[in-house]
């Protein structure tokens, strides 16, 4: 059964055109019946609400991080809004940091902006596609002497990659991280099953899951 906070997150994503249905060609060449892009978030209200869902996912988990890290670029606003929501709604005050894509050689030199983090670190990002951003964030955290213990992303697409595993499974096994998501492909399918106005998209979603979905 789809929990209310997952359903509300999908509501928010659809109303802000973060989650769209149709035909979308992915980098992999696959034609997906849906597309999820947090880059479409463009208001203070919406990014604040997104942060609340990240914070809720963190507090529902077993993670007890000492700090948060957001990889450039999309991870930057996400780590900030997650940190704010953790404090405002859960009274959890965590330091955070994020990186520049290129190291600055003047003024405030270096690659890291924010606190030089240490201890157990939780990586905050939008999605894991190829896993490049998470792997880079993992290396940066390690270079600061921190211990990356997990990651939280908005969606787990739950589809196989070239190794017959999902990108999240590959990252978890390679880096030893636990990756949590606010929603999954199965959550979206459950949502469509109950929403008559979007029911027309369900057959294509089920076909896509059958063809590319991770076999449980």
Q: Domain of 64?
A: 4-212
Q: Is the pTM of this model over 0.75?
A: yes
> In total, how many domains does the chain have?
1
Helix, strand or coil, per DSSP, at residue 116: coil
Report the CATH number that the domain containing residue 198 is assigned in CATH: 3.40.50.2020
Let me know if 90 is a catalytic residue.
no
104 is catalytic: yes
Residue 200, SS3 per DSSP: helix
| Coil, strand or helix at 70 | strand
pLDDT tens-digit profile of 61-89? 999 999 999 999 899 999 999 999 999 99
Which tokens in the block code for residue 170? 């590959």
Catalytic residue among 104, 142, 164, 194: 104
Give the active site residue among 45, 101, 106, 215: 106
Query: What pLDDT band is residue 114 in, cutting at 50, 70 and 90?
Result: confident
Query: Strand 31-36 relative to strand 19-25: parallel, antiparallel, unpaired?
Result: antiparallel
């Amino acid at each position: 059964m789809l929990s209310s906070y997952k359903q509300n997150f999908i509501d928010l994503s659809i109303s802000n055109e973060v989650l769209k249905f149709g035909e979308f060609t992915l980098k992999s060449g696959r034609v997906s019946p849906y597309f999820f892009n947090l880059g479409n978030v463009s208001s203070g209200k919406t990014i604040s609400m997104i942060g609340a869902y990240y914070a809720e996912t963190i507090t529902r988990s077993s993670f007890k991080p000492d700090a948060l890290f957001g990889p450039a670029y999309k991870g930057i606003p996400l780590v900030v809004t997650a940190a704010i929501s953790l404090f405002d709604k859960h009274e959890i005050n965590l330091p955070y940091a994020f990186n520049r894509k290129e190291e600055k050689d003047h003024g405030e030199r270096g690659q890291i902006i924010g606190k030089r983090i240490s201890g157990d670190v939780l990586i905050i990002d939008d999605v894991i596609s190829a896993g490049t951003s998470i792997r880079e964030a993992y290396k940066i955290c390690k270079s600061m002497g921190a211990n990356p213990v997990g990651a939280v992303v908005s969606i787990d697409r739950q589809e196989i990659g070239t190794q017959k595993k999902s990108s999240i499974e590959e990252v978890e096994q390679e880096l030893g991280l636990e990756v949590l998501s606010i929603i999954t492909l199965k959550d979206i399918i459950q949502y469509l099953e109950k929403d008559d106005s979007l029911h027309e998209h369900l057959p294509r979603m089920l076909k896509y899951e059958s063809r590319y979905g991770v076999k449980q």
